[in-house]
Structure formats: structure tokens, C-alpha cells
């Protein structure tokens, strides 16, 4: 369960505070970390010349602050929300589901035999494969409230508010099939192409004891999908009673 606990970074970026320091003429290290991690998005933001036009209006400062916050929650490779952003949303959605009495579903997705893919084709093609998988996930998740995210490495997660098990399974299978249809060659895999395994869990709070109990249940189902031969979906039946702590 430790690998799915809320992410605690070595530093806590106060984006608004950092931006205020920039406005006072002292660009902090955090800005350069953001720039390095999100270079393409930063260049687009920088192209607006917000930092070259002299003093900013309050509205321009607010827009710039919002952009930095967005960048801090975005995975640079895939463009999906990152783990930090996902952790914030799953807590919010768990509380919302508890108030409304609605089901909440989570998918835990792992690219099969990805280390072997990197060893065979190199990290550049590995990054391209991850970006392709991310696109397949994003295009399968269409509702505005749904949250696909890169959890780390070759792992992805999808948060599905107000979604029963049947709906979550449909989306999970759609993702699995779309990745398979990309036909990314993977000669080190028994399947011959890049595939994904998906664990799926659904609960109505306080089922599973909390947001991270739900995420942990999806992770356990992912291991079952791996054990079943990969390139498949394994669900956990709808839970309404607490069976684990957050």
C-alpha cells in the first residue's frame, strides 16, 4: 500500500508565492524546475510576453499564477494530469461521492512488459509508446469530470466519478482495445505488440474505507490481470461496506 499513499514531494511548491517573488525581480529555483519539467508549455506561456511587458495588472498576474499551477499538475511527457493532481482530485471526489451517495470507480493501468520494451527499443521509443498509450486513455475518457492521469513510469490511473462497475468496465475495456489497436511492435512481449493490463474497482463511500482503499483495490486487481496473462481487465465487485483503511 505504500506506493499508492499520497505523494509527499521533498519540497512543497507555493506557486503563488514563487510568482510574487518573480514579480519582485528574484526568479526562484522553483520557476526553473517548472520550466525544465514543462518546457513546451512554458514556452507557449512565455510567448505571451507576460514577463516582458513591464508591471502586470492584477488580472494578468492571476492568469499567470493559474498557468503555473496548471503546469505544476501536468505530466510533461503525456500532457495528462500528474500524480500530484490526481491525489488532490481523488480526495475531493471521494468526499463528493460520500455526500451524494454515488459510486466512485478507479482504473489502475500498467503497460505490459515495458522494461523489456525499453531494453529492446530504447528510451526514446519508450517515451513515444507511453505518449501513445496516454492518448488512447485520454480519448476513451470523455466526460469533463473524469480524470485520466499518469501515476508514474508506465502506470496510469483513471478516476470515474458517479460511475458504477459496469460503466467502469466498459471504459477499461475500451482503453485496453484502443492500445491494442495501435499495433505498436513489441517483439519482447508474448503478444507481439504493446498492451496494457487494467485493474478496476468501484465503491460507494464508505466502501473500502477511503479514497486510497479504493485505489489500493484497483491496484490489487491490476496484479490479478498481470497474473492472468496480461492484456486483460480484472474488476472488483461493487463495495458498500468498509473493508480497508484509507
Could you tell me which residue, 22 or 88, shows the higher pLDDT? 88
Find cell 491494442 and name the residue.
180
**Annotated catalytic, 154?**
yes
**118: Cβ contacts below 8 Å, ≥ 6 apart:** 126
31 pLDDT higher than 50:
no
Helix (H), strand (E) at residue 124: helix 123-140
Give dist(CA 199, CA 112) in Å, integer: 13
Q: What is the DSSP letter of 7?
A: P
CA 188 to CA 173: how far, in whole Å? 23
- Those residues with Cβ within 8 angstroms of residue 43's Cβ, 6 or more apart along the chain or in another chain: none
Catalytic-labelled residue, pool 67, 93, 154, 155: 154
The answer to whether residues 119 and 188 touch, using CB atoms and an 8 Å cutoff, is yes
Secondary structure (3-state) at 10: coil
Question: How is the chain split into domains, by residue range?
Answer: 15-72, 83-239
Nearest-angstrom CA–CA distance, 174 and 107: 12
Q: If you average pLDDT over residues 115-138, what whole number do you get?
A: 97
- pLDDT for position 12: 39
Residue 2: the pLDDT is 42
Q: Is the pLDDT of residue 134 over 90?
A: yes
pLDDT at 76: 87
State mean pLDDT over 185-211. 93
Percent above pLDDT 70 for the chain? 67
Tell me the residue length of the chain: 246
> In this predicted structure, which of 36-45, 61-70, 121-130, 161-170 has the lowest mean pLDDT?
36-45
Residue 188 DSSP code: T
* Predicted confidence (pLDDT) at residue 26 exceeds the cutoff of 70: no
Per-residue pLDDT band for 70 (boundaries 50, 70, 90) equals low
Of 29-38, 207-216, 232-241, which has the strongest mean pLDDT?
207-216
Examine the pLDDT at 96 and tell me if it is beyond 80. yes
Band (pLDDT 50/70/90 cuts) for residue 1 is very low
pLDDT at 127: 96
Average pLDDT across the chain, whole number: 80
Residue range 141-153: average pLDDT?
A: 94
Reported confidence tier of residue 206, pLDDT bands at 50, 70, 90: confident
Q: Which CATH superfamily is domain 83-239 in?
A: Reverse transcriptase/Diguanylate cyclase domain (3.30.70.270)
Q: Packing angle between helix 123-140 and helix 165-181, nearest 10 degrees?
A: 140
If pLDDT is split at 50, 70 and 90, which confidence band does 185 have?
very high
SS3 103: coil
Mean pLDDT across 86-112: 95
Please state the pTM of the whole predicted model: 0.73
**Sequence-ordered strand ranges (E) for the chain:** 104-111, 147-152, 155-161, 196-203, 233-239
CA dist 17 → 27, 42, 45, 67, 69 (Å): 11, 18, 18, 14, 11
Rounded to an integer, the average pLDDT of 73-87 is 91
Nearest Cα neighbor of 132 from 142, 140, 143 is 140
- Residue 146's φ and ψ, nearest 5 degrees, are -75, 145
Per-residue pLDDT, 209: 80
Q: What percent of the chain has pLDDT over 90?
A: 60
In whole angstroms, give the CA distance from residue 184 to residue 181: 8
Amino acid at each position: 500500500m505504500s506506493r499508492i499513499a499520497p505523494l509527499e514531494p521533498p519540497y512543497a511548491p507555493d506557486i503563488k508565492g514563487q510568482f510574487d517573488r518573480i514579480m519582485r525581480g528574484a526568479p526562484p529555483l522553483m520557476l526553473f524546475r517548472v520550466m525544465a519539467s514543462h518546457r513546451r508549455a512554458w514556452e507557449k506561456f512565455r510567448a505571451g510576453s507576460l514577463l516582458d511587458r513591464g508591471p502586470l495588472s492584477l488580472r494578468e498576474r492571476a492568469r499567470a499564477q493559474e498557468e503555473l499551477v496548471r503546469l505544476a499538475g501536468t505530466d510533461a511527457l503525456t500532457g495528462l494530469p500528474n500524480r500530484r493532481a490526481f491525489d488532490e482530485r481523488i480526495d475531493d471526489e471521494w468526499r463528493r461521492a460520500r455526500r451524494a451517495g454515488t459510486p466512485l470507480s478507479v482504473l489502475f493501468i500498467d503497460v505490459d512488459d515495458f522494461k523489456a520494451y525499453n531494453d529492446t527499443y530504447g528510451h526514446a521509443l519508450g517515451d513515444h509508446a507511453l505518449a501513445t498509450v496516454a492518448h488512447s486513455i485520454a480519448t476513451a475518457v470523455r466526460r469533463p469530470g473524469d480524470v485520466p492521469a499518469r501515476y508514474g513510469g508506465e502506470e496510469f490511473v483513471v478516476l470515474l466519478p458517479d460511475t458504477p462497475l459496469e460503466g467502469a468496465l466498459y471504459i477499461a475495456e475500451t482503453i485496453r482495445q484502443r492500445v491494442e489497436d495501435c499495433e505498436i511492435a513489441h517483439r519482447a512481449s508474448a503478444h507481439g505488440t504493446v498492451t496494457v493490463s487494467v485493474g478496476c474497482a468501484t465503491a460507494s463511500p464508505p466502501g473500502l474505507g477511503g479514497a486510497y482503499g479504493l485505489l489500493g483495490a484497483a491496484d490489487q486487481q491490476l496484479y490479478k490481470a498481470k497474473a492472468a496473462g496480461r492484456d486483460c481487465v480484472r474488476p472488483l465487485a461493487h463495495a458498500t461496506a468498509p473493508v480497508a483503511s484509507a
